Copies of this chain bind each other. A is one copy, B any other.
């Protein structure tokens, strides 16, 4: 698309640089902004620069936080013997919404992905090892994506955490609740048979 206006072209290009936003959607969003009052557009733009320039991460778990430690790490009711390792803060929000987990978190900030040039040193792994070596930590739960990169990262963390005296667990993988066997892929189905659990254990839920 050729807009014949450099300002419009630039705005559409910037909007289209967001993941999952194509050129047509970008144009629709930019035209929406054009219909807003100038001060509203200013507020829109300022929200992102202010966030980016003033963002703070929890010094313990690397969750996004306006204070030095996040609301989860600060909460005395949470079980500090459990650390759940996640990729980013969206995963914290997803797990929190289940209301099933009362431990703490550790945000890695990504997963090991040589294809994208992300190695172990780019992630918050060293602080995790340090946390796991503290006396009161009993279990580290690996809750990363069930992808090859997730598995690689799990294995890397498993070896690194070996020296710490903690139990290392991984979230259950199997067929999703409400799914039919017929439509489950063979790898998931194979693993769900291999890692079957006692029926009487499933009655607790």
Interface residues, chain A, with chain B CB atoms under 8 Å away = 1, 3-8, 10-11, 13-15, 17-21, 25, 27-34, 36, 38, 41-56, 64-66, 70-71, 88-90, 93, 97
| Contact yes or no, B93 A1, CB < 8 A | yes
Q: Considering the complex, give the chain B residue whose CB is closest to the CB of A32.
A: B19
Report which of B25, B45, B97 forms a contact with A45, defined as CB distance below 8 A. B45
Q: How many copies does the complex hold?
A: 2
Contact of A3 among B34, B46, B64 (CB under 8 A): B64
Which of B19, B64, B97 is within 8 Å of A8, CB to CB?
B64
Cβ 8 A contact of A41, one of B29, B42, B52, B88: B52
Given A64-B5, A93-B1, residue A34 in contact with residue B51 (CB < 8 A): yes
Q: List 28 A-B contacts (CB under 8 A).
A: A1-B93, A3-B93, A4-B65, A5-B56, A5-B65, A6-B66, A7-B50, A7-B51, A8-B55, A11-B47, A11-B48, A14-B43, A14-B44, A18-B32, A19-B28, A20-B29, A21-B29, A27-B90, A30-B51, A31-B88, A31-B89, A31-B90, A33-B48, A33-B52, A36-B52, A38-B53, A41-B49, A41-B52
The answer to whether B70 and A8 touch across the interface, beta carbons within 8 angstroms, is no
